[in-house]
């Protein structure tokens, strides 16, 4: 090896060290510092628990919530972040766990039911937040956030399709492959740099999560695993919501011109029948969008049949199986205003208490 090549090699070594050290230590997606089990155990012990923003695997937290919750539970809520603000006070029982995760799609939700089957957890009642993530194949076919738990989704699909099933066996080979790949990833390094800029670097591992103290201002899990937004988010105004609604990517989130998946409908109905056969009560929750976002969806230029199709389908399933249905996508039907929302999609907790009755059975 020539002298110039040795020099280049010696220059690369410290750069490589910085890359690997930053990716492993800052670890914006908690690939190397996964505290989801500890966070779940803290929540299950009745403690409000926080973690570094964007630095926790929500799906694994809820995985460990399911694994550690009692064998018989009165009520759970499933769905995307739209349902994460529903708390035990809303459903009328302390025997409640909120299993919602950000962007929960077809496979995420089926994985949670597969986990409950695998761990022999029984539930009396399910609040099912029906949203496009479950029924829009363009969304859930491209997501990879559920990859590690997809084996449980496949397990649940086998149960619903009445195929011969065995409880899933997970392998750590994919996890090791991911750790090695991300260790040398420039993209992950950029994410780590962004995370440091947004949150400041951690002094030690204990600061990655913890029990909420007095006057805590950041977001955290409540003891029922529901979500409490950061104080700064709670202070957002109707003008902030209107701006969010103007910038919201409706063409992606509601797949302009597309229709809901027939396959999703088939599996959803099988899931409903399966739960009812297990004597589980099912409530369907339609979380409204903000008025400003609804105006965009309804505009002449827009073409989002999925929204109306979903509501019509949910109502037809509720009627067919005598299910309680709570809410509607149209905020004007509920006389809601932009100030009832944190952003374009998420209803304020205090507005959940006012507009949605999860306590009465019909």
| Domain assignments of the chain as residue spans, ordered by start | 49-170+207-355
Whole-model pTM over 0.95:
no
Whether residue 133 contacts residue 139, with contact meaning beta carbons closer than 8 Å, is answered with: yes
Tokens standing for residue 78? 């499933």
CB 145, CB 103: distance < 8 Å: yes
CB 91, CB 75: distance < 8 Å: yes
Tens-place pLDDT, residues 66-87: 999 999 999 999 999 999 999 9
Kindly state which CATH superfamily the domain 49-170+207-355 is placed in.
SGNH hydrolase (3.40.50.1110)
pLDDT in tens, the chain (362 residues): 556 666 666 666 777 777 777 777 777 666 777 789 999 999 999 999 998 655 678 999 999 999 999 999 999 999 999 999 999 999 999 999 999 999 999 999 999 999 999 999 999 999 999 999 999 988 877 656 667 788 999 999 999 999 977 888 765 555 677 777 777 787 677 767 766 665 554 444 446 788 998 889 989 999 999 999 999 999 999 999 999 999 999 988 898 888 999 999 999 999 999 999 999 999 999 999 999 999 999 886 668 899 999 999 999 999 999 999 999 999 999 999 999 999 999 999 999 999 999 997 76
- Per DSSP, which regions of the chain are E strands? 49-51, 72-73, 75-78, 96-98, 122-123, 125-129, 209-211, 220-221, 227-228, 281-286, 324-327
- What backbone phi and psi angles, to 5 degrees, belong to 75? -155, 140
């Amino acid at each position: 090896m020539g002298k110039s090549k040795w020099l280049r090699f010696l220059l690369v070594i410290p750069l490589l060290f910085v890359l690997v050290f930053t990716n492993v230590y800052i670890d914006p997606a908690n690939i190397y510092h996964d505290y989801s089990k500890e966070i779940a155990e803290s929540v299950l012990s009745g403690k409000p628990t926080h973690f570094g923003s964007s630095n926790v695997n929500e799906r694994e937290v809820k995985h460990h919530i399911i694994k550690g919750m009692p064998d018989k539970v009165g009520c759970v809520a499933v769905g995307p972040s739209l349902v994460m603000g529903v708390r035990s006070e809303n459903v009328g029982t302390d025997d409640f766990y909120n299993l919602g995760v950000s962007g929960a799609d077809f496979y995420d939700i089926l994985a949670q039911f597969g986990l409950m089957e695998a761990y022999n957890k029984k539930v009396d009642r399910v609040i099912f937040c029906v949203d496009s993530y479950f029924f829009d194949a363009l969304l859930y076919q491209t997501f990879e956030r559920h990859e590690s738990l997809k084996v449980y989704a496949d397990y649940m699909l086998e149960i619903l399709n009445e195929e011969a099933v065995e409880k899933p066996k997970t392998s750590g080979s994919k996890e090791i492959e991911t750790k090695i790949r991300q260790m040398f990833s420039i993209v992950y390094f950029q994410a780590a740099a962004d995370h440091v800029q947004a949150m400041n670097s951690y002094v030690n591992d204990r600061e990655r999560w913890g029990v909420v103290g007095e006057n805590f201002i950041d977001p955290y899990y409540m003891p029922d695993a529901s979500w409490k937004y950061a104080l700064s988010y709670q202070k957002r105004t109707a003008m902030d919501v209107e701006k969010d609604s103007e910038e919201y990517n409706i063409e992606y989130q509601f797949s302009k011109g597309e229709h809901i998946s027939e396959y999703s409908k088939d599996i959803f109905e099988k899931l409903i029948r399966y739960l009812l056969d297990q004597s589980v009560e099912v409530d369907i929750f339609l979380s409204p969008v903000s008025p400003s976002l609804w105006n965009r969806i309804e505009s002449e230029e827009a073409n989002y049949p999925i929204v109306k199709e979903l509501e019509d389908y949910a109502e037809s399933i509720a009627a067919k199986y005598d299910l309680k249905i709570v809410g509607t996508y149209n905020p004007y039907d509920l006389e809601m205003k932009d100030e009832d929302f944190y952003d374009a999609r998420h209803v304020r907790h205090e507005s959940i208490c006012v507009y949605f009755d999860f306590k009465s059975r019909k």
